[in-house]
Amino acid sequence: MKPIDMTVAALAEALQNKEVSSQEVTRAYLDNIAREEANIGAYITVTEEAAMQQAKRIDEARANGKDLPKLAGVPAGIKDNICTKGTLTTCASKMLSNFVPPYQATVMEHLQDTVLLGKMNMDEFAMGSTTENSWYHVTHNPRNLACVPGGSSGGSAAAVAAGLAPFTLGSDTGGSIRQPAAFCGVVGMKPTYGSVSRYGLIAFASSLDQIGPLTKNVYDSALVLNEIVGYDRRDSTSVKRQYADFTKHIGREIKGKRIALPHEYFGEGLAPEVKEAVLAAAKKLEALGAQIVELSMPSLKAALPAYYVISSSEASSNLARFDGVKYGFRAQQYDSVEDLYRNTRSEGFGAEVKRRIMLGTFALSSGYYDAYYKKALQVRTIIVQEFQQMFEQCDAVLAPVAPTTAYRIGEKRENPLEMYLGDVYTVPVNIAGLPALSMPCGTDAAGLPIGMQLVGNAFGEAELYQIAYALEAALQEGGSGK
């Protein structure tokens, strides 16, 4: 089997057994990137020379008998809002087009013995659902090049789907891992808030952002998450606790598991093909011995406006640091400090980022704070409570990821509100800080992937992987394998 066709688990095992070298695997991926990247546009930066040097170092360490982590020598792509020391990190923005971080994000420290293939394209500052908002180029969906790959982690999802990386890391603020995973037909995990350090993740909305893996299958996702979770004193939101091996329940039967179907997720606006595929997945789970429970989440409609108020408000605060003074892009023409700020931000940010900064600044302004931001925080509390009530009656929640499959590039570019509506099923998870896994569960009439998500209780990732793996095996002949 060619390296680019192997799973992360198979690659890791082959590398450990010295059946293949990291240099051979890395070269195979770099060659595939050279062939396919022009059509896909998944990368902003490809670190070819550094990747081969890193692969050589790992091969030498393995040959000398050094004890290495499980994923040592496996190549990976990293979303371009995660800081990589010495490697350009742009957030797909003109504002950071010359920013080379002097430090590593914590997740990169955890993955220091994996091989960095490069930095993935994304919506600018992670604001968008299509990866059309990149300052660099549009990313295309490998399943249909005329369609969007989703966003904001569109480059990360497209790379895994196209065989341009065995796994990638993305960030999920309101569905930005799960939605592109669904559109591209791969597996995406948004972990529990606080389980993966955000140190070195360039912030969009600090109370919502979470780093997670995108992989070919469920087992690979659990392997990668094992490597990146853990307490980090440099992240004030990091949770100090012991994390068990996420693969420990994989392969066990799911008989008796209670899976909730909140009826609000299956109402108006959901494409019939998506609804049919997700409900068919529920039937598969039922056939495996799970119990399907119909519940209600009345606040679902309020989640989307609450999310956009909270996330835009936090973005307004977080992006205030990009002023042309400290680092990043600086306008060339200005007559005063005020002009410098205004011109730098006008020229450095794209339209979608400006739109959300203005929305957030308005929501936080005097006279509107109580009407918008405070109200959104109250809705957040209600959503948390509703999830808590559901998890008293179930082990996981099954829902669609997006109302439709991938749409055509440019189709929603002039209608941002319609694009925002596509996040209706994903944002409640981020608001509540819960884990959720997106996986393919079918295709539509055009052959485009349909995604479903399993939502778990806080720190319930191991149980989600158990359920998802069993379903994956039922949906795909032969299962996911190791």
Residue positions annotated with a catalytic role: 79, 152, 176
Tell me if 107 sits within 8 A of 228, measured CB to CB. Answer: yes
Q: What are the structure tokens assigned to 139, written together?
A: 């990313």
Q: How far apart are CA 437 and CA 453, in angstroms?
A: 5
Strand partners, 170: 212
Helices of type H across 200-299? 218-228, 272-287
Indicate the pairing of strand 75-79 with strand 43-46. unpaired
Report whether the peptide linkage leading into residue 152 is cis, meaning its omega lies within 30 degrees of zero.
yes
Q: Is 337 left (phi over 0), alpha (psi -120 to 50) or beta?
A: alpha
In whole angstroms, how far apart are CA 33 and each of 28, 42, 140?
A: 9, 9, 14
Closest CA to 244 of 461, 29, 41, 466: 461
457 — phi, psi (to 5°)? -70, 165
Residue type, 208: L
- Sheet bearing 75-79, strands edge to edge: 43-46, 115-120, 75-79, 167-171, 211-215, 187-190, 436-443, 449-456, 396-400, 258-262, 291-295
Residues forming beta bridges with residue 196, ordered by sequence position: 229
State how far the alpha carbon of 405 is from the alpha carbons of 271, 274, 305, in Å.
8, 7, 22
Nearest to 51 by CA among 9, 32, 23, 78: 23
Which run of H or E residues covers position 171? strand 167-171
Please, what's the largest Cα pairwise distance for the chain? 70
Closest C-alpha among 210, 218, 274, 283 to residue 246: 218
Q: Which residues pair with 78 in a beta bridge?
A: 119, 169
